[in-house]
């Protein structure tokens, strides 16, 4: 789900940078307005490392393979801190392993950042109800929904930027195949987020709600 350099038209890449820049600025503003903005940084730093490493873990889903994304987990665990953490993680993935690219860093930031924010909002709403079942379901929906949301954004952006000289039908089929291959990943990441939030609620409720 990382779009590399040279795939998107320049206009889309620049729009992505502007959108991600705005999102990071908004996140930093929200973080600054917290009573102790530094308090969330240690967790954000560790989660950035987890997010960075996740892209190296490939899961074969014939005829293709997908890699872990964890944007749902990032959002649920970090809240607004997830946006700068994802931006830094994406930058490191691009420069160290060539996953994604620098020109497409903005677009990739949106593809993974917006689902993270959605995944942050959902469990927070559910936590107010107090029901454990609802909270677990919200955790699952946050993790799985983040993947589906990211796949939808990825597909829309790619189709919007499809150059005329490509065989559009063949590329559409390839994109759709890749999107379908992410369904098992959505299930897996939904379970991961539900399990992690459930664990945090049991051992340390204040940590689960810290974000």
Partner 1 sequence: MQSFSGRLFVITLGALLLPSHAQAHAALITLGPVEAIEIHAGYDTGEAMRGAQIVVYAPDNPAQPWLTGTADDSGRFVFVPDGTPGRWAVQAREAGHGAMSYFIVEGGETTALLPAPAQYDPLQRLVMLASIVWGAIGTALYFRRPRQRERA
Residues forming the site for partner 1 (CB under 8 A): 3-7, 38-39, 41-43, 45-46, 48-49, 52-53, 56, 58, 63-65, 92, 96-98, 154, 158, 165-167, 170-171, 174-175, 177-178
CB of 130 to partner 1, least distance (A): 30
Name the β-bridge partners of 67.
Answer: 58
CB of 167 to partner 1, least distance (A): 6
Q: Do 126 and 39 contact (CB within 8 A), yes or no?
A: no
If the CB atoms of residues 85 and 138 are measured against partner 1, the closer one turns out to be 85
SS3 65: strand
CB of 123 to partner 1, least distance (A): 23
Angle at which helices 132-160 and 183-203 cross, to 10°: 140
CB of 129 to partner 1, least distance (A): 32
Nearest to 123 by CA among 141, 148, 104: 141
Distance of CA 74 to the CA centre of its chain: 7
If the CB atoms of residues 58 and 202 are measured against partner 1, the closer one turns out to be 58
If the CB atoms of residues 48 and 127 are measured against partner 1, the closer one turns out to be 48
CB of 173 to partner 1, least distance (A): 9
If the CB atoms of residues 3 and 141 are measured against partner 1, the closer one turns out to be 3
> Which residue has tokens 């709403």?
125
Q: Rounded to 5 degrees, what angle do the CA atoms 189, 195, 199 make?
A: 145
Q: Do 48 and 89 contact (CB within 8 A), yes or no?
A: yes
If the CB atoms of residues 26 and 49 are measured against partner 1, the closer one turns out to be 49
């Amino acid at each position: 789900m990382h779009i590399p350099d040279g795939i998107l038209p320049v206009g889309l890449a620049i729009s992505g940078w502007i959108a991600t820049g705005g999102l990071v600025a908004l996140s930093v503003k929200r973080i600054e307005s917290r009573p102790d903005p530094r308090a969330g940084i240690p967790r954000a730093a560790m989660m950035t490392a987890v997010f960075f490493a996740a892209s190296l873990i490939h899961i074969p889903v014939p005829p293709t393979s997908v890699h872990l994304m964890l944007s749902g987990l990032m959002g649920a665990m970090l809240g607004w801190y997830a946006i700068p953490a994802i931006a830094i993680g994406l930058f490191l993935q691009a420069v160290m392993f060539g996953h994604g690219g620098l020109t497409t860093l903005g677009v990739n930031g949106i593809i993974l950042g917006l689902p993270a924010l959605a995944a942050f909002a959902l469990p927070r709403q559910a936590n107010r109800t107090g029901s454990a079942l609802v909270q677990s379901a919200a955790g699952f929906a946050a993790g799985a929904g983040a993947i589906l949301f990211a796949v939808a954004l990825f597909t829309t952006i790619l189709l919007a930027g499809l150059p005329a000289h490509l065989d559009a039908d063949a590329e559409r089929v390839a994109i759709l195949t890749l999107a379908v291959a992410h369904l098992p990943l959505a299930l897996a990441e939904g379970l991961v987020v539900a399990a992690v939030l459930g664990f945090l609620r049991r051992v340390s409720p204040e940590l689960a709600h810290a974000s």
